[in-house]
Amino acid sequence: MFASKSLKKQIEPIVESLLAGLVGLVIGALIMLAFGHNPLAAYRSLLLGSVGSVYSLAESLAVATPLILTALTFAVAMR
């Protein structure tokens, strides 16, 4: 009984985050459709442009590093 509650507490935030991301993708797709654009092509371009090659992955990490470090310092400060 305790294991299932503990497992639920661990899985619940992950499911909520994935669901929030999915809702964001769906809303974005609806907006793109409303403006007459293909959401699948847009999401494909977004994915390939950010992690489609070694260079683009390295570039994405280089740009994201300051944001990641800022989030980590904030998390440590709030602990």
Q: Which domain holds residue 33?
A: 1-37
Give the pLDDT of residue 3. Answer: 64
The radius of gyration of the chain's CA atoms, rounded to the nearest angstrom, is 18
Task: State whether residue 1 is helix, strand or coil.
Answer: coil
Tokens 């769906």 map to which residue? Answer: 26
pLDDT digits (tens, 9 = 90+) for 27-63: 999 999 999 999 999 999 999 999 999 999 999 999 9
Coil, strand or helix: which one is 46?
helix
For residue 48, the model assigns a pLDDT of 94
pLDDT-derived band of residue 15, with 50, 70 and 90 as boundaries?
Answer: very high
pTM: 0.72
Predicted local distance difference test score (pLDDT) of residue 18: 97
Give strand ranges (E) for 1-79: none
pLDDT tier at 6, thresholds 50, 70, 90: confident
Total domains in the fold of the chain: 1
Which pLDDT belongs to residue 2? Answer: 57
